[in-house]
Structures are given as structure tokens and as C-alpha cells.
Structure 1
Amino acid sequence: MISVKDVNYRYPKAKSNVLNDITMSFDQGKVNVIAGLNGAGKTTLFDLITGVYPIQNGEFQNVPKMDDILYQIQGTFLSQMILGRDYARLVYKISGKKFQKGSPSAFIDLGDQRENTLLERLWNRELGQMSVGERRWLYVTLLSQLDRKMYLFDEPTSAIDPSSRLKICKRLERLAKEPGKTVIMSSHHLHELEFIACKLFVMNNGSVTFQGSYHEFLSTFETTNPDIAFDHCINL
């Protein structure tokens, strides 16, 4: 099990920590979801796990080597003229996997006919002609084809429609259920979590204020609305 124990972090010249005694354990077989307001410390935690920033104190246990980690960051620039298949070729080339010409069905089977059809539709379309949700789904879907032990997705469902968010969550759930893989994502959206197997962490001001299942989260704050539960959680 990959875990974080007593991790603190302070940026140079900052007056206070951005992370305070963070302790988490991430489950396999579930999507590990970290929720929190902007500035809660989610991206900083991801950057520490992946070695972007050096660890100042605390420890990370059983974190794979960098070659076994996929880290999808926010705001990656790609030309809007790139076709879906060109992005697939880029991902496969970086990973060392062989890219085959032709339709995606020649070497990718997503295990879901609707997703296979969507991939076929986007294959020869420019990124600029796709909706934001379609682009995000394409990025996550192709990156999830790479064989890694750990996957970090920084807000892959932000600013997209509910249907695309659910597709991405389901895609990550299927990835998490593959043997030996740990999937972690940050998110501002909680309603979709009702429909996937997940472990939820809530961060606020650099601390973890909740960790447990989605249903335990609702039960703890005595509500059926995750947004209300989240509001209570960050105001403890």
C-alpha cells in the first residue's frame, strides 16, 4: 500500500506550511480522490509524491520509481490542430509503446462499445474541434493505456460537462481495478463519486479533515448531499 506519513512542506520564503502533518494511505482497487478548495495543498502533495519538489520532512512509503508513475498535470499545452490520433501517437512514442496506423480498434479496446465508438469518432478530429469534455476524456483514456504502477490525475474532471465527468471517473475506476495499480485524482466534483468505487480524502488549509468511503463521508455529516458535507468538513 502506498502511503504518506507525517509530511509537511513549506515553500521557500513562505511564512507558513502549505502541508501540515499529512498522513494518508491509498487503496488499490479504488479511485483515491482528494478533494479540497483551491490552495488546499492537493497539487503540492502530487508534486512531492512525484519528486517535483524535494521532501522536507515526513516520508512516502512504497511509492514506485518515477518510470512507474504517470502524472497528468493541469494546463498541458497542445496545438488545437493536432488530431486525436496524433495525440495517441505522441503518448505512445513517449512511453516506448508501438503505435499502429489505422483505426484505434486495431490496437486499443476500451472494453466498452460506447467508449470505443467515441474514440473512433475523435480519432481523426482536431483537438480544437472537440469539446473540452471530449478532449479531457481522450487525454485520460489514452494515458490510462500506459502500463504504470501509479497514476496521478490533477483535476481531470474540472470545467467539463457531467456526462464527460462520469465517463472519466468510470475510466479511472476500471484502471484502478487492474492488479497492482494505484490511481489517485484530485477533484472539486463529488456527486459522481456515488457511482464509482472510491476512497475520499478532504484537504483544507494543508491538512486532511476527512478520509474514508463516500458513504461514510455523507453519514459523518448526516446529509445525502456531498456539497453540504464538504462545506461542513472544511469548516470544522
Structure 2
Amino acid sequence: MKVTLITTVLAALVSTAAAEPTLVKRANPQGIDVSHYQGAVNFKTAKANGIAFAYIKATEGTTFIDPEFNTNYVAATNAGIIRGGYHFAHPDSSSGATQANYFLAHGGGWSADGITLPGALDIEYNPNGATCYGLSASAMVSWIKDFSNTYHSKTGVYPVIYTTTDWWKTCTGNSAAFGSTNPLWIARYASSIGTLPAGWSYTTFWQYANSGSNPGDQDLFNGSLDGLKRLATAA
């Protein structure tokens, strides 16, 4: 997500029509999300460039552990960046509970230490087949609930849900079942967030571009740095 000037992005955040959910300009800490595709990330440089938080890929399905996860997680910690892990879902391969437990066993855990974000469930377009993984809308909602409830039962917090509005409408029937429990991380590469999935009146994170001066995808937190730290303590 190539953005020439961050001021352009911030200006866009406060100029969107009132009919669309938008981020409010309140410092909006910048973040990145990375995986093995970026290799070993220099998080000290990212921190110097204004990055306050990072989501780092930990697992995918029940057969893949990101080979760079440990290196990047430790590096982000040492750089003083608030960080968390994310799991790329494959709802067609095993149950939500099975994948939540796999995620928890390989980097997706959480503790109220002020520097660990709740784990994130990356639920989106199938890269290798049917968009909705062959599941009906009701089956997809049940799968997500299974993952979410399992994660909550083990950590005391609900996972962040990363998705796009289009995928959510297509594959969950625009379910409103998660808006009161799970923080939303919306992906939309545009000057405004646009319409959100049902159930959420605002997004917690916005992935607004997939390239920039820092490695990985570019994200903004909807709030202040203090608010970001509260999320890392579940306060």
C-alpha cells in the first residue's frame, strides 16, 4: 500500500462523509502487519519511523507455522513495539476450535502485560479455491464462533477479526453476531473505510495500504496510544 504522504491519509480520515464510518483524528498510532514474506523485519528502524504496533503472522490452518514469527516477535518486543500474533484461517480444513488451539500453541497467546495485543483471526478470501471455502453462511458463522469462543475460553479475551466488508457480506451473510465481542480490523485500500460489516459501528484497526515506507501492510489504530495500551491490557 503505497502512500506518498501520511498527512494525506490523516486528512482523508477526517474528511469522509458522515454517512460512512471513519476514524477520528486522535493521534491514530501507526502499525504494520508482517509475515515470512517480509523476512526478518528491522523493528528498531520501524519504531524510529513511527510504528507503534505490529501484528505478526504466527500460523495458518493447522499445518503451517510462520518461520519468521519468533524472530520478528522478539525483535518487535525488544524495539518497544506493542505486538500480537495473527492466524490465517482455513475453515475448510478443520474446526474453529482446532485452529484456535493450534494458534494458541504456536504464538497466538495473550497476557495482560500492556504490550500484547489480542490474537487476530485473519478470515478472508480463500487463496486456493472457493471464496467461502465451500461453507454456507451459517456454517461460516458457526466456524468463526467456534474459533472465537475457544480463544476466549483460553485467554479471557476475544480475538480481533480481520476481514473485508465484501468478504464478510458474501461469506457470513453479513452476520452481526460478533460486533459486541470482537474488535474489528478492516482491510480497505482507499481514502476512507467505507461501510463496515453488520454489528460493528466502528473499526479498531484499519489496514489502509499494502506497501509503504515501512515493511508489510500499513495499519492505523482508531484511537490514542493510551487506548492502544488499554487494548493490550483488556481494560
Q: TM-score, normalised by structure 1?
A: 0.37
Q: Which has the higher strand share?
A: 1
Q: Which has the higher helix share?
A: 1
Q: TM-score, normalised by structure 2?
A: 0.37
